[in-house]
Amino acid sequence: MMSLDERDVPLLTLLRVGRIFAPAPLEATDLLIADGRIAVLGRDLAVPEGWPVRLVEARDLTAVPAFIDQHVHVTGGGGEGGCGSRCPEITAREIVAMGIGTVVGVLGTDGISRSPADLLAKVRGLKAEGIAAYMYTGSYRVPPPTLTGDVQRDLAWIPEVIGLGELAISDHRSSQPRQDEIARLVGEARVGGMLAGKRGICHFHVGDGQRGLEPLRQLLAETEIPAEQVIPTHVNRHRALLEEAADYALAFAASVDVTAFDDPGEEGLSGFEAVSRLLARGVPVERITMSSDCNGSLPEFDTQGNYIGMRVARNTALIADWQRLVREEVLPLDQALGLISGHVARVLGLHDRKGRLAIGHDADVTLLDGNLQPQQTFVAGKRLYARDGSP
């Protein structure tokens, strides 16, 4: 991580790169950043002598929108095997080293020893280190734990709260919520978001139970809730669920989130396989996002549902699966970028300032080498990571 001392950061930063994908390829090769936002995109930009400008020469690198990970257990997940199975917190360096500039923190199974207050403190800590960080209120449980005692108030009064999640459905670890409880909570999140000028999405953990996405199908078919309000994740945990996710996305013009599992196991699919299959089924790429589930648990259970072991998820698979989609020409770079930047920004309601390299947008920029490996990460114009250790 670079030093984040504001006194060391000039008001202006000029990036000179080889190419810019914004996500579409641009003729511009220079980005002038002013006060954390992109001020000018052009070629051979000249800056008046004496101006306080930091010049970053990176002619061998490609600038793209910094990545967005909408599902990160920033305080650590786990706990299914008792207190000794709690996963560790994620570090800021682990985030920015993967080219990620924005994260959304979640609570999972354990909403008891870890609370929304803990999550908010961690999110604010990441923000203090320069990362753009948000959170969902709630956890697997229904009724969900909150900061203020009310979902709407959390969304209305806590700037970092952008939605409700990860609510668990079709999973033996869920609270087995009734359909009316799901509808009420989604409605609460929608109205709370409206009052705060946020999207107010509901981020749904989908387990491997036989009901699959049926609770969400029923929700969209029987209520006035728009499809953009609910985002099912982990839809690639087994092949039948992924096929159902494709049908769901096509039937409701809905978005689905693929998890880049470190090890999908015999039943699951990797992020690469899942995205490839969804595209083959005709799901528009704009309706697909990818996330890491980073620092969450990957528990193993026997046929009776007894806990038998656990691994900790990392975010390296997210970048590796995304790189493979481009390298194997499943998607061109400009379209693939949406999976972990622009589409995610739209889903979260952050598209007015994130997910694109455009004048007036936050200067969240990742510089990639020829192998699509992140070399530098800028958030709000500040360089938080350089692989070579440059300040």
pTM of this structure: 0.92
Indicate whether 100 belongs to any domain.
yes
How many domains are contained in the chain? 2
| pLDDT tens sequence across 70-98 | 999 999 865 455 655 567 789 999 999 99
249 and 377 in a single domain? The answer is: no
Indicate whether 7 belongs to any domain.
no
Please enumerate in sequence order all residues whose Cβ is within 8 A of that of 316, keeping only pairs 6 or more positions apart, or say none.
Answer: 98, 262
CATH number at residue 16: 2.30.40.10
> Which residues are documented as binding site?
71, 73, 78-80, 109, 140, 173, 205, 234, 237, 293, 297
pLDDT at 7: 44
331 and 373 in a single domain? The answer is: no
**Phi, psi at 367, each rounded to 5°:** -105, 120
Cis, peptide link before residue 23, omega less than 30° from 0: yes
* CB half-sphere exposure, 147, CA atoms < 13 A: 23
pLDDT at 314: 76
pLDDT at 5: 43
231 and 376 in a single domain? The answer is: no
CATH number at residue 285: 3.20.20.140
317 and 188 in a single domain? The answer is: yes
Indicate whether 21 belongs to any domain.
yes
42 and 84 in a single domain? The answer is: no
Please enumerate in sequence order all residues whose Cβ is within 8 A of that of 190, keeping only pairs 6 or more positions apart, or say none.
Answer: 200, 225, 229
Cβ atoms of residues 105 and 134 within 8 Å? yes
Count CB-CB contacts under 10 A for residue 332.
13
233 and 291 in a single domain? The answer is: yes
| pLDDT tens sequence across 112-121 | 888 999 999 9
**Which single residue is written with the structure tokens 């670079």?**
2
**Tell me, what DSSP letter sits at residue 352?**
T
pLDDT at 86: 62
pLDDT at 166: 92
212 and 330 in a single domain? The answer is: yes
pLDDT at 389: 82
**Which single residue is written with the structure tokens 């079709």?**
170
Per-residue pLDDT in tens (0 to 9) along the chain, 391 residues: 544 444 454 579 999 999 999 999 999 999 999 999 999 999 999 888 888 899 999 999 999 999 999 999 999 865 455 655 567 789 999 999 999 999 999 998 887 888 999 999 999 999 999 999 999 999 999 999 999 999 999 999 999 999 999 999 999 999 999 999 999 999 999 999 999 999 999 999 999 999 999 999 999 999 999 999 999 999 999 999 999 999 999 999 999 999 999 887 788 999 999 999 999 999 999 999 999 998 766 656 556 666 555 555 678 999 999 999 999 999 999 999 999 999 999 999 999 999 999 999 999 999 999 999 999 999 999 999 999 887 7
**Which member of 110, 171, 293, 321 is catalytic?**
293
> Which residues are documented as binding site for Zn(2+)?
71, 73, 205, 234, 293
pLDDT at 262: 83
323 and 360 in a single domain? The answer is: no
Residue span of the structural domain in which 89 resides: 67-348
293 part of the active site: yes
CA distance 199 to 130: 23
